[in-house]
């Protein structure tokens, strides 16, 4: 009996139970995936859930806002990816040791390649909005693939921190960025701007056209078409929201906990009507 769950706050609109229950069904496994709301600074609750994972009462945990970075001191170790990013979205237990991993980074890259191709051989260039856990995961995965990464954040200090830790990364805090916008291949939204209920928001500056040929990847997936995606598409550009990344990060976490490979189609189906 697999007992899986998600720690975070708030969790009311999470799609993770649907995806993981579909994964359990596809793998023919008995179990459940629960939402475990832990408010910011809920240290006691975090310790309790983690002790259940250590004792085997829980089989695996996901972590989301606001605990992706704060949970690290409670763990016994990190995978190299989580260590490099400094944020955890998946925890598993091996030999009674709690290990934090980050499946957002490989999931982003897999879905990016599924959605877009960047064929020519020159180094590619990306602009990422946001400077928190998700932005770090995206910057790390692009940097590993040889991309030049530009981080744009309203807090220069947060962007600077990423630039100092992840190679090929530069930090910005104000538009316009002529040097960056020339030859830009990819824009990534790693902020909540545009997410329900604030669907009229976008991180892209009002009235500024997107550079020709740029692709747009919005990590937000509610609604399925966000303002930045709609505006990029109306300019004839390729643009997608982040449902594919969400499904892939869940599938990778599920594989870590259960050893079962999951057909992605059945996971997509579980959230296609929502």
Name the β-bridge partners of 127.
150, 187
Largest CA distance in the chain: 55
Alpha-carbon distance values, 245 to 120, 219, 235, 252 (Å):
24, 8, 24, 10
- Catalytic positions, please? 68
Query: Of 74-82, 118-126, 245-253, 263-271, which segment contacts ligand NAP by CB under 6 A?
Result: 245-253
- Comparing CA positions, the residue from 205, 188, 208 lying closest to residue 124 is 188
DSSP letters of 138-184?
Answer: HHHHHHHTT-EEEEE-SSHHHHHHHHHHSTTEEEE-SS--HHHHTT-
Question: Looking at 191, 202, 214, 258, which residue binds ligand NAP (CB under 6 A)?
Answer: 191
CB 162 within 8 A of CB 136: yes
Does 221 interact with ligand NAP (rule: CB under 6 A)? yes
Of the two residues 52 and 79, which places its CB atom closer to ligand NAP in the complex?
79
Residue 237 Cβ vs ligand NAP, minimum distance, rounded to whole Å: 19
Residue 116 Cβ vs ligand NAP, minimum distance, rounded to whole Å: 15
Of the two residues 52 and 116, which places its CB atom closer to ligand NAP in the complex?
116
How many whole angstroms separate alpha carbon 102 and alpha carbon 133? 10
Of the two residues 106 and 130, which places its CB atom closer to ligand NAP in the complex?
130
DSSP assigned state of 91: E
For the chain, how are helix, strand and coil distributed in percent, rounded to 5? Answer: 40, 20, 40
> Per-residue contact track with ligand NAP, 72 to 111, x per CB under 6 A?
--------------------------------x-------
> Per-residue contact track with ligand NAP, 115 to 154, x per CB under 6 A?
---------------xxxxxx-----------------xx
Of the two residues 22 and 219, which places its CB atom closer to ligand NAP in the complex?
219
Please report, as residue ranges, which positions from 50 to 79 form the binding site for ligand NAP (by CB under 6 A).
Answer: 65, 68
Of the two residues 90 and 132, which places its CB atom closer to ligand NAP in the complex?
132
- Count the site residues for ligand NAP by CB under 6 A: 25
Q: Does an H or E element contain 49, and which?
A: helix 43-55
How many whole angstroms separate alpha carbon 22 and alpha carbon 30? 11
Residue 245 Cβ vs ligand NAP, minimum distance, rounded to whole Å: 4
Give contact residues for ligand NAP (rule: CB under 6 A).
65, 68, 104, 130-135, 153-155, 158, 190-193, 195, 219-221, 242, 245-246, 249
């Amino acid at each position: 009996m697999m007992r899986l769950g998600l720690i975070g706050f708030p969790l009311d609109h999470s799609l993770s139970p649907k995806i993981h229950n579909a994964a359990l069904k596809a793998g023919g496994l008995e179990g459940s995936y629960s939402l475990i709301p832990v408010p910011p600074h809920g240290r006691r609750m975090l310790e309790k859930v983690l002790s259940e994972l250590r004792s085997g009462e829980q089989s695996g945990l996901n972590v989301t806002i606001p605990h992706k970075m704060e949970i690290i001191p409670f763990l016994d170790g990190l995978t190299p990816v989580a260590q490099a990013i400094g944020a955890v979205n998946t925890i598993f237990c091996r030999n009674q040791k709690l290990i934090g991993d980050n499946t957002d980074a490989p999931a982003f890259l897999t879905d990016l390649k599924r959605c877009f191709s960047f064929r020519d051989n020159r180094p590619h260039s990306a602009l990422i909005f946001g400077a928190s856990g998700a932005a770090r995961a995206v910057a790390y995965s692009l940097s590993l693939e040889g991309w030049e990464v530009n981080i744009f954040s309203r807090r220069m200090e947060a962007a600077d921190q990423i630039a100092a830790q992840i190679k090929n990364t530069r930090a910005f805090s104000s538009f316009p960025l002529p040097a960056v916008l020339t030859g830009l291949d990819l824009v990534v939204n790693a902020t909540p701007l545009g997410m329900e209920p604030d669907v009229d928001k976008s991180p892209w500056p009002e009235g500024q056209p997107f550079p020709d040929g740029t692709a747009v990847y919005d990590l937000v997936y509610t609604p399925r078409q966000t303002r930045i995606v709609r505006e990029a598409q109306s300019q004839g550009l390729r643009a997608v929201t982040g449902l594919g990344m969400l499904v892939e990060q869940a599938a990778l976490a599920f594989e870590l906990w259960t050893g079962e490979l999951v057909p992605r189609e059945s996971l997509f189906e579980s959230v296609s009507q929502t």
